[in-house]
Amino acid sequence: MKNILIGLIASVAVITGLLWLGNRAGSGGTAAIGTTSTLTAPETSFDFGDVSMAAGKVSHDFVIRNDGSAAITAKKLFTSCMCTVAGLTVGDTRVGPFSMPGMGGPIPPIKVEILPGKEGIVRATFDPAAHGPAGVGRIDRVVTLETSDGQLEFKFSANVLP
């Protein structure tokens, strides 16, 4: 009887754990581009290659497109480091630049609507001199766009030279 009770408790624990993991994977989180999200981006990563501190800031534009049938609202835009800022342009509306949460205050919410079939641009600007001499070498940064349809991440890298 004791073995049956232990087996039953273990089975319930395993099933509960599997259900919990399944719910976590299916809720919230990052929307996979081209699968669950109707906001798509043909390019989500970019390599600047060698970037000189002395040459100044570099920028790259990531194009986004609403391939769905309903409007999507951009809610927040932020970066993974203070050396990077990001802005969003949709039509005549421009917001930003925004940086890393918590390092200059909270990231303000935005409310930029991206209509079906329309495009926008997420511009990432990186300052290779922001970290001084300690910032020489390979870097990887992320720009995150939170929307009513999920979340998209745009990654870039560079090799910072003096």
**pLDDT (tens place) for every residue of the chain, 162 residues total:** 555 544 444 443 434 333 333 333 333 333 334 334 688 999 999 999 999 999 999 999 999 999 999 999 999 999 999 999 999 999 999 999 999 988 667 888 999 999 999 999 999 999 999 999 899 999 999 999 999 989 999 999 999 999
Same domain, 113 and 142: yes
Q: How far apart are CA 63 and CA 61, in angstroms?
A: 6
Same domain, 9 and 89: no
At residue 28, the pLDDT reads: 34
Same domain, 89 and 117: yes
- Looking at the structure of the chain, the number of domains it has is 2
Domain that holds residue 1: 1-30
| Residues contacting 118, CB < 8 A, separation 6+ | 65, 66, 90, 91
User: What is the number of other CB atoms lying within 10 angstroms of the CB of residue 126?
Assistant: 24
Same domain, 62 and 20: no
User: What is the number of other CB atoms lying within 10 angstroms of the CB of residue 139?
Assistant: 19
CATH number of the domain at 100, please: 2.60.40.10
